[in-house]
Amino acid sequence: MAVFGVNERTLCYHGPVIYEAKILKVELWDETNTKSGLPGYHYFVHYKGWKQTWDEWVPQERLLKYNDINLAKQKVINAESYAADKKAKAASSSGTHNSKSGGTSGGGRKDGRAHEGSRKRRRDDDDGVKKPELKLEIPDILKVILVDDWEAITKNNQLVTLPREPTVQQLLEEFKGYILALPNPPPQAVALLPTLIAGLRTYFDRSLGSTLLYRFERAQYAEMRKKYITGQHVAPGTEKEMSAIYGAEHLCRLLVKLPEMVSHTTMDDVSVALLKEYVTELMKWLVREKDRVFLQAYDFPSTHYQNIART
């Protein structure tokens, strides 16, 4: 039985502190529909004084009854958290402003000004560093596929069938084989392609959950992670990366976002040029193989899934 009810005033942990919150919804989740990885009662809460964008589902363990005892607990815990945060900031500030030498106070101020000037010059130098720029020309056919993909998911409430075949891992390996089998492959291909393929796989696995999914797909993503990575029935050593589950549709989304990702790296011009060369070839290869590697029809999920995905 749920311990808390709809519209109940409560206290809720958010990180190391406790905030007042109001319960908007209550649901009982099991292993088939949990979005947090935990079965049991979950509560959709709104934090008092916060924007609605911070509303979230929380497990029962994060909630406290709104009473004098827990209000006192909130006061103590929040005070300790704020004190620890203040102490950490003070230590950081002290380390920033201390001079390198331990001379007189006048000398310390002089060294401090010199140190501050040095830090300012370094910041100016950093701001002046040219960020790597990757410019890709997306083939028109892939643009159409991406638009159809967006429409199927966001407008028609459909999903990509998972696991996909071929997967991102398989596609990248096939592309590597295709390049190496060319009559006159680029001389650096043998040495560079394994690193390039590994890098794209890493980009995909790290960015899928945070960057490459539409909202309607997130519940499906949680299901895949539970089934292949975090679930209690997944034996150690048998976990699968998401690049072994998803396919060409999501790989295309990665390629479109790749220039932005590269801009936050320290890649040099030569590396960026090589990346552009091979990613351009990869997109051309995907166009040639489009009838085989892209889905012809997306799935219509159950009403149950649609209800979960919309909350």
How confident is the model over 189-214, as pLDDT tens digits?
777 888 889 989 999 998 999 889 99
**What distance in Å separates the CA atoms of residue 199 and residue 205, rounded to the nearest whole number?**
10
Please name every residue paired with 132 in a beta bridge, in sequence order, or none if there are none: none
Q: Are residues 251 and 278 in the same domain?
A: yes
State the Cα–Cα distance between residues 14 and 64, nearest whole angstrom. 12
Mean pLDDT, to the nearest integer, of 22-49? 85
* Rounded-to-integer distance, Cα 26 and Cα 57, Å: 9
Distance between CA atoms of residues 163 and 50, nearest Å: 39
Q: Which domain holds residue 54?
A: 9-66
Co-location of 118 and 253 in the same domain: no
The H-or-E segment that residue 100 falls in is none
Residues 6+ apart with CB under 8 A from 308: 33, 35, 219
Q: Are residues 29 and 147 in the same domain?
A: no
Tell whether the model's pLDDT for residue 40 goes beyond 60: yes
272/168 same-domain check: yes
Q: What pLDDT, on a 0 to 100 scale, did the predictor assign at position 294?
A: 97
Tell me: do 117 and 232 sit in the same domain.
no
Q: What would the pLDDT profile of 144-189 be if each residue is shown by its tens digit? A: 999 999 999 998 999 999 999 999 999 999 999 999 998 887 777 7
Identity of the residue numbered 93: S
Q: Per-residue pLDDT averaged across 270-293, rounded?
A: 93
Residues 152 and 17 in one domain: no
Sole residue written with tokens 């209550």: 26
Say which CATH number the domain at 58 has. 2.30.30.140
Per-residue confidence (pLDDT) for residue 112, from 0 to 100: 42
114 and 152 assigned to the same domain: no
Same domain for 57 and 80, yes or no, is no
Confidence of residue 234 (pLDDT cuts 50, 70, 90): confident
Does one domain contain both 148 and 292?
A: yes
Minimal CA–CA distance to 301: which of 162, 158, 163, 149? Answer: 158
Task: Give the model's pLDDT for residue 169.
Answer: 95
Specify the pLDDT at position 37: 65
Least trusted range by pLDDT, from 33-37, 83-87, 88-92: 88-92
Same domain as 199, residue 124: no
- Is residue 110 classed exposed, middle or buried when 0-12, 13-18 and 19+ CB atoms within 10 A define those classes? middle
Number of domains in the chain: 3
The answer as to whether 221 is a domain residue is: yes
| Angle between the N-to-C axes of helices 168-180 and 248-262, in degrees from 0 to 180, rounded to the nearest 10 | 80
Q: What percent of the chain has pLDDT over 70?
A: 83
Tokens of 56: 């979230």
Q: Quick one: average pLDDT of 223-246?
A: 91
- In angstroms, the CA 123 to CA 127 distance is 6
The DSSP secondary structure of 132-155, one letter per residue, reads P-------HHHHHHHHHHHHHHHT
pLDDT of residue 102: 46
Least confident of 22-26, 89-93, 193-197: 89-93
* pLDDT > 60? residue 288: yes
Residue 135 or 35, more confident: 135
Q: What are phi and psi of 156, to 5 degrees?
A: -95, -5
Instruction: Give the pLDDT of residue 125.
Output: 43
CATH number of the structural domain spanning residue 217:
1.10.274.30
Same domain, yes or no: 186 and 258: yes
Residue 205 CA to residue 157 CA, distance in Å, equals 24
pLDDT for 129: 55
| Virtual torsion, Cα 219, 224, 225, 231, nearest 10 deg | 110
Gap between the Cα atoms of 25 and 5, Å rounded: 8
3 within a domain of the structure (yes/no): no
Q: Is the peptide bond before 132 cis (omega within 30 degrees of 0)?
A: no
Task: Quickly state the pLDDT bin for 89 (edges 50, 70, 90).
Answer: low
DSSP 216: G
Q: Are residues 259 and 204 in the same domain?
A: yes
In a domain, 281, yes or no: yes
Of residues 53 and 87, the one with the higher pLDDT is 53
pLDDT band at 220 (very low <50, low <70, confident <90, very high): very high
Quick count: other Cβ atoms within 10 Å of Cβ 285? Answer: 16
